Structure 1
């Protein structure tokens, strides 16, 4: 690091990448990939946000399923077919031509899915056959041929068999290799927000009695195996992970998150990761949200990672503005990820640096659709 208390706009080396500043674009699901294949419009969207000074120093592309069963929302792109890999290449080429860095978030939704989105209309898979109190996004075709999106309750899942878990690990490993073939600078493993890897971690969704349930060590076993496979495939210096210790989204809950996630970060420390991406509080909601009897101690979590030898950058996320971001860096963070502000402000870093006003967000165009509310947000005047 260039100073004891670095500025948000100072350069930093993170894993394999020399980044021009510390403003990161968080992954944002936009449901604009019909047929689960990236589009040319997506290349425009990401390239707009890739300027090395005015845009994101690092773009974390939207959550992308690693296998057909990993899909849980309509029109989200995958990374498990040759067609998807080739289409993503146009996105990464556009970002690199603009001078940016981009990594792909690897995703398996687990039980947060609907039978209409699963191969053969089968039930979604999960650690245990417990239906989440959550909704997902599907698109239906009307009588006059229009595609209309709506949110529906997720379907009841089935529990994964023990002999299926190696296939899950292999899907992540192959997806990481596919991402590199598609031109991504690396990957982020999505282990947050109540999706499959997070479901295994938490008692509320994992009631298994085999080697993948019960104790913290057992519940973290699948995550350990996935992270070892992914880092073994492409190198830890090109791998990040996203965690959300206390978020309740997608019916995620555990009554003892502090020991659980301190175990997780100590487990991750030897892998030489590029970064750990931490969502503080409720995803997209209150930063002071807590689960369990005591407020979550994020400083203790970072100490547990560092004390175990973890060298990856510490990235924080959730509701940050410039002042909060600078304070986080003073308190030991290395990077700050911004989500929705990057949707409506492709030049967010310039606006933060110069104190310029932000474009308002069009919430009605967040999910699905085309260019409106996607690639038509204006840049600040020169």
Structure 2
């Protein structure tokens, strides 16, 4: 007999009742139509996975300037808002709940993708190559934002959050992780500014706090979360003081009464536990480093619930397991994914995975 897991108990997320503590993590799938529009296949994909306690969508650009990858959806035009409504309606019709992840790529972008030159806190390129419509290309040197330009990039999250609610999302998650714009301001390796947005920890966290505060003012703290990846160094956004930086950031965010903070396991466990102790609200943990080939499983989830996480997010396991919640409940094997189809476009490897447990499970 399978031992029950706390994963399958209900949870009150800022007034939103979740039937379980399983979160579908945000994952870029590069299936949007031209002009950043959501599609009927995206509605099918998310609706298939609506048994998750909460779905967090793929990264959605809050502005054209904020677009990182080609083939990704936006929330900065009326047409994009209208295209998302069938997606959120489909999730809700299947009994689910969905937040939109707002992702500003900052320097992790390319003019061939947006027609605009990427911006960042400093004129330092991301490490490695970025996606473009014609293939991979070296990350360009971004244009350093002037001090008086920074608030407009911060406010783009609030503008998109308002559109997300209009599109039927239950809330939004700011992407403050994995080397994108918020992380670029947080990390000393990518932020060499000498104004009020750079230098000290207090200055480097300022952009994140302003972005989150603007979203809270726009849609309310109960509709707002943020994802963070302490010490990850992804895209070359290196941090030498992750513990100090993220403890300071959480202290500034605590009075905003957010729906949650979403931490990736990108640093030592003791640092993450310290952050759990410091954060007074709901904590979501993604238990597998994004660079790891492993998939999160029930053992990893139960481990983090035991360390104080309230919810646990699963990424790649949801790609090939629309029925992941049930598989976790009965401790059935998690089906493997086909990595070749992650960003391939089309329905293959997207909406064609079985939605029921195999006979042998």
TM superposition score normalised by structure 1: 0.88
User: 1:151 deviation in Å?
Assistant: 2.7
User: 1:123 deviation in Å?
Assistant: 2.0
Residue pair 2:100, 2:173 contacting (<8 A) in 1 also: yes
User: 1:153 deviation in Å?
Assistant: 2.0
Residue 88 (str. 1) matches residue 84 (str. 2): yes
Residue 136 (str. 1) matches residue 133 (str. 2): no
Aligned position for 2:344 = 368
Residue pair 1:112, 1:134 contacting (<8 A) in 2 also: no
Residue 280 (str. 1) matches residue 265 (str. 2): yes
Residue 316 (str. 1) matches residue 289 (str. 2): no
* CA gap 1:355/1:6 in 2 versus in 1, 3 angstroms: closer
Aligned position for 1:68 = 64
User: 1:165 deviation in Å?
Assistant: 1.5
Q: Could you say what secondary structure the match of 1:189 adopts?
A: strand
Residue 377 (str. 1) matches residue 353 (str. 2): yes
Q: Could you say what secondary structure the match of 2:226 adopts?
A: strand
Residue 299 (str. 1) matches residue 273 (str. 2): yes
Structure 1: 4+ residue segments shifted above 3 A = none
Residue pair 1:359, 1:377 contacting (<8 A) in 2 also: no
Q: Could you say what secondary structure the match of 2:109 adopts?
A: coil
Q: Deviations over 1:104-133 (max 9, x none)?
A: 0011000001111133xx320000000111
Q: Which runs of 5+ in 1 are unaligned?
A: 141-149, 282-288
Cα distance in structure 1, aligned partners of 2:238 and 2:287: 18
Moved more, 225-234 or 166-175: 166-175
Q: Please show how residues 245-256 of structure 1 align to structure 2 within 5 Å.
A: 245-256=230-241
Aligned position for 1:189 = 174
Residue pair 2:287, 2:304 contacting (<8 A) in 1 also: no
Residue pair 2:231, 2:240 contacting (<8 A) in 1 also: no
User: 1:232 deviation in Å?
Assistant: 1.1
Residue pair 2:127, 2:236 contacting (<8 A) in 1 also: yes
Residue 329 (structure 2) aligned to one of 334, 343, 353: 353
Q: Please show how residues 1-382 of structure 1 align to structure 2 within 5 Å.
A: 7-35=6-34, 36-50=36-50, 55-119=51-115, 122-140=116-134, 150-281=135-266, 297-305=271-279, 310-311=280-281, 313-319=282-288, 320-379=296-355, 380-381=357-358
Q: Could you say what secondary structure the match of 1:152 adopts?
A: strand
User: 1:72 deviation in Å?
Assistant: 1.3
Cα distance in structure 2, aligned partners of 1:232 and 1:249: 30
Q: Which runs of 5+ in 2 are unaligned?
A: 289-295
Q: Could you say what secondary structure the match of 1:70 adopts?
A: coil
Residue pair 2:65, 2:114 contacting (<8 A) in 1 also: yes
